[in-house]
Amino acid sequence: MLKHNLGFPRIGRHRELKIACENYWAGHIDLITLFEVGKKIRKENWNFQIKSNLDLIPCNDFSFYDHVLDLSLLIGTIPEKYLNPKFDNKMDLYFSMARGYQNNNFDIKAMDMTKWFNTNYHYIVPEFIKEQKFFIYSKKIFDEIEELKLILNSSDKIKPVLIGPVSYLYLGKENDTSFNKMDLIENILTVYIEIIDTLSSKNIKWIQLDEPILSLDLSDREKNCIQYAYRKIYKYFNNHDIKILLTSYFDGISENLYLFEEFFTYIDAIHIDLIEDPNQLDKVLSFIKESNIILSIGIIDGRNIWKNKYINSLKKIEKSINSIGEDRVMIAPNCSLLHVPIDLKYEKSIHINIKNKMSFARQKIEELNDLEKIIKGKNNILLNNSSIINDLKKSNIIHNNKIKKRSYDISDKDIKRISNFSKRQKKQHKAFNLPLFPTTTIGSFPQTKEIRIIRNKFIKKKLCKKEYEKKIKQFISEVIKKQEDLGLDVLVHGEFERNDMVEFFSEKLNGMLSTNNGWVQSYGSRCVKPPIIYGDVSRSEKITTNWICYAQSKTKKLVKGMLTGPVTILKWSFVRDDQSIDQTAYQIAWAIRDEVIDLEKSGIKIIQIDEPALREGLPLKKKNWGGYFNWSIRSFHIASSGVKDETQIHTHMCYSEFNDIIKQISNLDADVITIESSRSNMELLKIFSRFSYPNEIGPGIYDIHSPRIPTEKEIFNLIKKASNFLPKRNIWINPDCGLKTRTWNEVLQSINNMVKAAKIARIKLG
Ligand code: GLN
Ligand code: ZN
C-alpha cells in the first residue's frame, strides 16, 4: 500500500512566498533572491514529506503564482501581446501574464482570473487562439525534478504533477468564437506526449495527471475528448516504465468511468475522492476488479482542517484491500493540500481541546503514516484517535442544546415575511418616500491607510477601546457627511470597523474562531485566513447595531444596516464536520436574524444581508443543486424574515451569472437585490426581465474593480438601458460592489457622476 500526496501548500510556513514575490515586484529584491526563496520552500516541503515516509513525493506542485499559469508557460500558451515587450527573463513574462504590465511604452492588462472549481483558489485562465500551437517553453518542471533528485538520490519516488490535457483545455477560453477549444486536443496531446516521454527518459516512474473535470457533468464533446486523449496517451505509454496516475477530485467520477472501459487494460492507476463522494468506492472497485489498475483512495480531507477519523478511513482501506489486494491500493488526501493552512504548530491561542481535533497540511501527511501503522497492527494509534474525537462529542465548548434546539425548530412563520412583496413594497414606498431611481452604495467606503493603522493598533492593544471607538465614530461621521454632500439617498456607515466581512462576524459569534497563521492561498500572493466554525453558533451581544445607530444619529436620511449573510459566513470558513451542514447554516442564520431584529428595534429601516458566496457554493454536479438550495435559501429566510413589512431587506451578490439560478434568487424574496452588471453592459438584466423578476433591483452601474471613473452620460445610458428591461419603480442605482479597495478621489468623482445621472434620469425617464 503506497502513501502519496497530490500537492502541498506552497506559500511557505510564514507566507515567505508572498513576501518575496511582493518584494520582487516592488524592485526590492532580485530574481536570484526570489528563486532562492522558492527553492527553500520546496526543499522544506519535500523534506517534510520524505521524513513522513511518503512513498511518492509530488513535484511541480510548487508555483510562484498559479499552477495553471505554470502549465500555460510549460506548453507555450502565451498570448501574443505578452511577447511584445522584450522581458529579460521568463519570470517577468510570467508575472506580466498574471498581473499585467505597465511602463512608458506598454500597458498590458492581466489575463483573466477565475475560481478553481468550487474552491476559493483562483487560477489564471489560459487563452487560446484558433491556430494554437503547443510546444515546451518553460523548463520549470524538469528543473524541479532535478532538484528533488538531488535530495532523494534517485528518481524512484518522484511524482511530477500536471493538470491533464482535457481539464486544461476545459479551464481555458477561446479568444474568438470561430472555434471550440476542444478542437485543440490533437495539438495539445502532442506536447503532453513529448513531456511525458521526456520524464520517462529521465527515469521518472510516476506522473500524476489531474483531470478534475471528470467530477463534473460533461457534455458529449468533452467526454469524447477525454476518451480520445486517454486512449492515445495510455496506448502510447503502454510499453514505457512510467506509470500514469489519473486523478480527479472535488466530487465522484463513477458516472464517467465508462469512458475508460474500452482501454481499461492500459490504465495504470486512478485516484478518486472519497471525502466528497464516499459512495463511489463500491462502483469503482467493481469496475477495476478484473484489471491490474491501482486505485488511489483520497481519504484525508484536503479542503477542511479537522483530524481524520481513522476508524472511517480504515473501513475504506480495508474494503479496497479486500477487493483488489494490498499491492493495488494507494492512500492519499482527496485533493491537493493547497486549500488548507500549513502547520497547526503555529496556532497558540486555540483552546487545546479544539486544537487537538484539528489538522493542517503537515498533520494530514502524518495521518497517512498513522493509518499505515494501524494497518500494520498499531492499535493504540487508532484508540487514541477515536478517544480524542469521542471526547468532544459531549464537550460544552462545542455543544449547546439550546442553540441546537432552536436551529431545528423552524416554523413556517419563521421563514416567511408577514406579507407578500407587493404589499411590503407599497408600505415601504410610503414610509420611505424615496425618489424614483434611489441611489445607494454597497456598504464599504475606502479603507485608507489611516484606518488600517488604527484597526491594527487596536488589535495589537496599542490603542484602548475607547480611543478606537472614538476614531471609528469620527470616520463614520465623516463618511455620512460626504454621502450627504454627494446627494445619495440611502446612506451606509462605511464598514471601517471591519477587516474582512466574514472575519469580523466570526470574531463576534460564539462557536467560531480565527487563527494566527492559518493562511491559505487565494490567488498569487494573496492569502486568506478562513475562520473556523468549531461549535454551535450563536450571538451573545449586538455585533453591528451600535455602529449603524451611531451613523443614523448623524443624518436625517435613511442609513442601511450592513450584515454578512449565513451562507457567505459558512462558505468562507472551515466548517465543522460533526453535524450536517444545514444545521450549522441555520445556527448562523439565527444569529444574524437576532442582529437584524436588534437593528430594526433600534430604528434602522433598511438592512442589507450580503450573500456574495451564494453562487460559488453551488455543488459541481447539478443533481446536488436541489439539496444545496434547500438549506441555503432557508438560511437566508431565517436571517431575513423576522422583521415587519415596513423594514426593507436588501441583499448583495457580486457576480453576473444568474441564468441558471434566477428562480432561486427570486425565492430569496429580498426586497432589493444589488448585483454586478456594469461589465456586461446590463445584458444580464435580460434574464431578470424574461423571468419577470418581481422585486426591486440595483444593477451595479459603476465597475468598482477598475480605477476608471464612469462618466455621467455613460451611467445615464446604463440607467436608460436598465429601464428597458425592468419596471422603473423597481430600479435602484448603485456601484456593483463595496468601495473599500478604491481611493477617495475615484469614489467621490464616480459617485458624484452616479447621483447626477440618476437625477437626470428621474427627469428624462420618469
Ligand atoms: N458590504 C460589503 C462591502 O461593501 C460587500 C462586499 C462583497 O460583496 N464582497 O464591502
Ligand atoms: Zn460585492
Q: What is the pLDDT of residues 247-264, one digit of tens each?
A: 999 999 999 999 999 998
Domain range 423-764, CATH class: alpha beta
For atom 1 of ligand 1, which residue has the closest CA?
A: 443
Whether the CB-CB separation of 533 and 581 falls below 8 Å is answered with: no
pTM over 0.85: yes
Regions of the chain where pLDDT drops below 50: none
Distance of CA 39 to the CA centre of its chain: 27
Grid cell listed for 540: 451573545
Strand pairing of 672-675 and 648-653? Answer: parallel
| Ligand sitting nearest the alpha carbon of 740 | 1
| Fold topology of 2-257+266-281 | TIM Barrel (3.20.20)
What is the residue whose three cell numbers read 432561486? 664
For atom 10 of ligand 1, which residue has the closest CA?
A: 738
CA distance 191 to 581: 43
Whether the CB-CB separation of 490 and 557 falls below 8 Å is answered with: yes
| Contacting residues for 458 by C-beta, under 8 A, at least 6 apart | 465, 468
Is 122 among the residues known to form the active site? no
Nearest alpha carbon to residue 556 among 498, 608, 484: 484
- For residue 301, the model assigns a pLDDT of 98
- For the chain, what is the radius of gyration of the CA atoms? 27
- Residue 60 Rama label (left phi>0; alpha psi -120 to 50; beta): left
184 lines ligand 1 (CB under 6 A): no
pLDDT digits (tens, 9 = 90+) for 126-136: 999 999 999 99
Distance 736 CA to ligand 1 centre (A): 9
SS3 240: coil
562 lines ligand 1 (CB under 6 A): yes
CA distance 303 to 360: 10
- For residue 48, the model assigns a pLDDT of 98
Q: Do domains 2-257+266-281 and 423-764 have the same CATH topology?
A: yes
For atom 5 of ligand 1, which residue has the closest CA?
A: 738
Which ligand 1 atom is at minimum distance from the Cα of 654?
8
- Count of other CB atoms within 10 angstroms of residue 292: 14
Give me the residue spans of the domains in the chain.
2-257+266-281, 423-764
- For residue 104, the model assigns a pLDDT of 67
